[in-house]
């Protein structure tokens, strides 16, 4: 049976690929875009199955109204996909205040507001799914992407708590964590003006690998999108969905390192308890 989806950040990348695949299989999609006309080609092919809405996700009142209108007009939305976001590259001290604030507004605050705005409608209809597109960057960190990681680690913590809160209402949450994937993420990356002091550091190495194209990208956008949709369709979806061999290996190594560190602190941790 066809489903109805609400997807933010559908102009390009994984949002566009998910929208394309859903329309091909006959589902209905409300797709928000930042640029008017971004989905003109798909609109012509999909007809009434695609509703395109121009939206700046950082405009919270407009975001709430867009979601409310979508639920009211379509009667039911089965899956809400919070996908809009971008990256900011630079050592922490290189970053401009305004760039950090805009990144947080887009990647973290807007994602939180999308979920919060959707929940009353999902509860009212008796359940549904929320897919939050994060990245391996919600579990690990690359030098030079500190602010980006702050948003991804932040939204994952938010979703951890929300999933527990809404489980009694038949609302399931999924955090998708793709590794480096062949989308337009690199082209939309905001670059901070570099300081020479960081040229010979890990930040400089990451910056150089992106500039010269040597940064390894193994992820396929179509396959990644298909895996996210399959998880959202599953009877028992995973809470975290790690996608791509790079993400699997890097997240595995990070978790093992953290667990080893935690276990090594057992005696110190227990020593902090009250004597009684």
Each domain of the chain, given as residue ranges in start order, spans: 4-270
Active-site annotation, residues: 134, 148, 152
Q: Is the separation of the CB atoms in 94 and 192 below 8 Å?
A: yes
Q: Which residue do the tokens 């999924």 mark?
A: 174
User: Would strands 171-178 and 28-33 be described as parallel, antiparallel, or unpaired?
Assistant: unpaired
Domain at 4-270, CATH homologous superfamily: NAD(P)-binding Rossmann-like Domain (3.40.50.720)
pLDDT tens per residue across span 139-189: 999 999 999 999 999 999 999 999 999 999 999 999 999 988 777 666 778
Whole-structure pTM value: 0.93
Compute the distance between CA of residue 160 and CA of residue 28 in angstroms, rounded to an integer.
Answer: 28
DSSP 181: B
Nearest-CA neighbor of 81 among 35, 118, 34?
118
What confidence score (pLDDT) does residue 213 get? 82
Model pLDDT, residue 90: 96
pLDDT at 188: 78
b/e code 24-39 from CB counts within 10 Å (16+ = b): eeebbbbbbbbeeebb
Torsion of CA 260, 239, 139, 176, to 10 degrees: 150
pLDDT at 267 (0 to 100): 96
> Using one digit for the tens of pLDDT, what is the confidence trace for 8-67?
999 889 999 999 999 999 999 999 998 877 787 887 777 889 999 999 999 999 999 999
What pLDDT, on the 0 to 100 scale, is given for residue 148? 97
pLDDT of residue 271: 96
Give per-residue pLDDT as tens, 94-129: 999 999 999 999 999 999 999 999 999 999 999 999
């Amino acid at each position: 049976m066809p489903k109805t989806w609400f997807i933010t950040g559908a102009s390009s990348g994984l949002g566009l690929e998910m929208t394309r695949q859903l329309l091909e299989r006959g589902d209905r999609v409300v797709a928000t875009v930042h640029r008017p006309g971004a989905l003109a080609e798909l609109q012509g092919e999909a007809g009434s199955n695609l509703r395109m809405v121009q939206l700046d996700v950082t405009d919270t009142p407009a975001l709430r109204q867009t979601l409310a209108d979508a639920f009211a007009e379509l009667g039911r939305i089965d899956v809400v996909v919070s996908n809009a976001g971008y990256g900011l590259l630079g050592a922490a001290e290189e970053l401009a205040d305004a760039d950090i604030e805009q990144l947080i507004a887009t990647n973290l605050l807007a994602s939180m507001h999308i979920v919060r705005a959707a929940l009353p409608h999902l509860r009212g209809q008796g359940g549904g799914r929320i897919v939050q597109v994060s990245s391996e960057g919600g579990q690990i960190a690359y030098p030079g992407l500190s602010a980006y990681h702050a948003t991804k680690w932040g939204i994952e913590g938010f979703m951890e708590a929300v999933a527990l809160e809404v489980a009694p209402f038949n609302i399931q949450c999924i955090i998708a964590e793709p590794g480096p994937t062949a989308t337009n993420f690199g082209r939309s990356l905001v670059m901070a003006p570099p300081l020479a002091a960081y040229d010979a550091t890990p930040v400089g190495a990451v910056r150089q690998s992106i500039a010269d194209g040597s940064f390894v990208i193994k992820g396929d956008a179509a396959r990644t999108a298909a895996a996210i949709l399959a998880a959202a369709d599953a009877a028992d979806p995973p809470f975290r969905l790690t996608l791509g061999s790079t993400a699997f290996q890097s997240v595995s190594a990070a978790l093992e390192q953290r667990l080893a560190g935690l276990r090594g602190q057992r005696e110190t941790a227990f020593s902090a308890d009250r004597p009684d």
